[in-house]
Chains A and B, each alone.
Chain A
């Protein structure tokens, strides 16, 4: 079943209804609010020939990399590269903005790196980019987010030769 995005905000079935209003009241102006849709880019090859990139706001990062700053007044506009060959034990999460009890036990709950590798190995998708990309959703300035972080990641993803992108919030 599908529907076009209507903006009604009915909270249909979501476990935290009214999240957009709640966060926007707490951090005024921080929530992304678009007036239009962008045209769909077509999928030009069969999935079995597509190289997939995974982009996530979960803040999952390789151990030893600088933790995302989840308490800075205006947020964190950096990103990390996560090798698509990384093992779960090579990764960590520094996050206080979303429930991590599932991810702490099985990172695939928020960052399905093993599932994606399996799908690539099985030939369901053609392959994975060398790196996945992560950042955090805690950034107070949506215009700055678009101008800097989103553009930087989009450039990096293009340079990795991605054909399709699975993007996931947290």
Chain B
């Protein structure tokens, strides 16, 4: 679907947590996050991380130079979870 949009002239980008799937599907642009499936934009209530992932995707949309290029931001799942837990504690959710 992403390839179809690209061929219609709409530039696309997608986050992925499954590098092997992406390498087979060959989308035009992708951003790899080492996250859990179903958590492509991070962890609950971590607005800054969710926003950062979107902005990484948009920056890659603009700056990617080659079809199939994958970007690897320096974010880890452990870091995301740690920060998310701290945020939930501050919000009184844990």
Contact = CB atoms under 8 A, between A and B. Distances in A.
**3 nearest A-B pairs in the assembled complex, by CB-CB distance:** A37-B67, A106-B44, A150-B1
Interface string B1-44: 11111111111111111111111111111101011111111111
Interface in B51-86: 51, 53-55, 57-58, 60-62, 64, 66-72, 74, 77
A145 B27 CA distance: 15
A14 to B, nearest CB: 5
Residue from B12, B38, B54, B61 having most chain A Cβ neighbours under 10 A: B38
The SS class assigned to the B binding surface is: mixed
Interface of B: 1-30, 32, 34-45, 47, 50-51, 53-55, 57-58, 60-62, 64, 66-72, 74, 77
A143 to B, nearest CB: 13
Given A2-B64, A34-B25, A115 B14 contact: no
Contact of B51 (A21, A37, A118, A168): A118
Nearest to A149: B1
Contacts of B50: 108-109, 112, 115
A151 B72 CA distance: 29
